[in-house]
Chain A
């Protein structure tokens, strides 16, 4: 079983090697120019940089990240269920449909709550 993952490992090594080699090549072959303060400043369309370099941003981005964890785990639970769904249905075990419907239903209530709270509303 694990033997199947050997090519993935080789692939990973080749991909990393390729990335490393191209980065190294551009250092070796690239033209080297002088440093100067203008080149070292942050690029903002040629103007002098204004304000902080890492400004404050909306808290909504954190919220999206947290909601993602919850709902992505829901998706992960659905995968094994989907693989065996047909076998269960062919055996007449309709319980598989209703049990998943109840599981998703509970999460859907949470989703409605999130929606009503305005956590997904980016207009304001």
Chain B
């Protein structure tokens, strides 16, 4: 057994899951509430800070409500964990875990940085900043992410109640419908990269220009500029399908409050409800991570800065991590703005968009990209 591999991957997993994804989830919920409040001309959560009055002080420090996620988490833990009598208990308990585990697992193949040179700690090999460097990157993500459909279907079915049941059925058919568009829209990118390994895809973009910003390296060729057309089409289809896969607002029919109370998690309370919430936001974060990795160069810094260096010093590794983090944050803010701007689709419109428009455009897009590659070779 390679103990170095095991130890380093445990540290990386704990770092990514507990220091990156979970805080990002907590603060994107906070950001969502603050942004929605700003858009709707309200105040939003601005009180929860350091409770000095509990310790005998005169006034609390409000701190712009930045400790709200912590208070929410605590509340989820302390609320009554109620399992109604009419549910199917085993699946009722299984479903929240089954939604959250795939969402956390998908981040395993996302390269969140180039490599970290830890020679000052006596480790001579630089540590690659990806949990599992698989050569089936996007396929792994799609395979694992589609497992979360089971969690939602089971939640809806085992609740044994009308609205969760409808929510579960709607959600499953929506998620599988957009999975086709998602899968098809990635194919032109794979043709351009000729590669399924996400680390190599990012390294390529680091040296030869991001897919949607080919301004340096080989990116300045006519071929790459022509390929911008299929890449942009793919980007639009891919991003929209990520919205649909994560059940976020233009596509939040599985849990639309006006028709279905709260959809598949109506009967859930306390931590079980929180796990659904967590899974949804974690899926959104990994989705933005995938968009960034495929279209915007992952961890790389614009204009190929630092890509010429043979050995990456420690500061460059840290800078790459920061770049990846910032790009994800930009996309999360984009997701939040879209949610509070665009109204919900009707169900027939949603199905039509996925099966008719996106399917046909994505299919044509593949052959457009293939044609360009043949023409410019």
A interface vs B, CB < 8 Å? Answer: 3-8, 10-12, 14-16, 18-20, 22-23, 25-27, 29-33, 35, 39-45, 49-55, 57, 61, 64-65, 67-68, 71-72, 75-76, 78-79, 82-87, 89-90, 94, 97, 100-101, 104, 108, 111, 115, 120-123
Label chain B's interface by main secondary structure: helix
* A26 with B272, Cβ < 8 A, contacts A78-B187, A85-B373 known: yes
B interface vs A, CB < 8 Å? Answer: 2, 5-6, 9-10, 12-14, 17, 76-82, 84-86, 93, 96-97, 100-101, 104-105, 108, 131-135, 139-140, 157, 159-163, 165-166, 169, 172-173, 176-177, 179-180, 183-184, 187-188, 190-192, 194-196, 261, 266-267, 270-272, 274-275, 347-348, 351-352, 355-356, 359, 363, 366-367, 370-371, 373-374, 377
Q: How far is the CA of A68 from the CA of B173 in the complex (A)?
A: 9
| Chain A hits for B270, CB < 8 A | 26, 30
Q: How far is the CA of A85 from the CA of B366 in the complex (A)?
A: 11
Q: How far is the CA of A41 from the CA of B78 in the complex (A)?
A: 23
Sample 25 A-B pairs with CB under 8 A, ordered by A number: A4-B133, A8-B132, A11-B17, A11-B105, A14-B17, A15-B104, A15-B105, A22-B271, A26-B271, A30-B80, A32-B80, A54-B162, A54-B165, A68-B177, A68-B180, A72-B180, A75-B180, A75-B184, A82-B366, A83-B194, A83-B195, A86-B194, A101-B367, A120-B352, A122-B352
| Chain B hits for A82, CB < 8 A | 187-188, 190-191, 366
From A54, which residue of chain B is reached at the shortest CB distance? B165
Add 14 more A-B contacts to A30-B79, A31-B80, A42-B160 (CB < 8 A).
A4-B133, A10-B6, A23-B271, A23-B272, A26-B79, A30-B271, A41-B86, A42-B162, A61-B172, A78-B184, A79-B190, A83-B194, A94-B374, A97-B370
The answer to whether A25 and B9 have CB atoms under 8 Å apart is: no
| Chain B hits for A35, CB < 8 A | 85
The answer to whether A108 and B79 have CB atoms under 8 Å apart is: no
A-B contact count (CB 8 A): 218
Q: How far is the CA of A27 from the CA of B84 in the complex (A)?
A: 14
| Chain A hits for B100, CB < 8 A | 15, 19
Label chain A's interface by main secondary structure: helix
| Chain B hits for A64, CB < 8 A | 173, 176-177, 351
Q: How far is the CA of A64 from the CA of B218 in the complex (A)?
A: 43
The answer to whether A11 and B13 have CB atoms under 8 Å apart is: yes
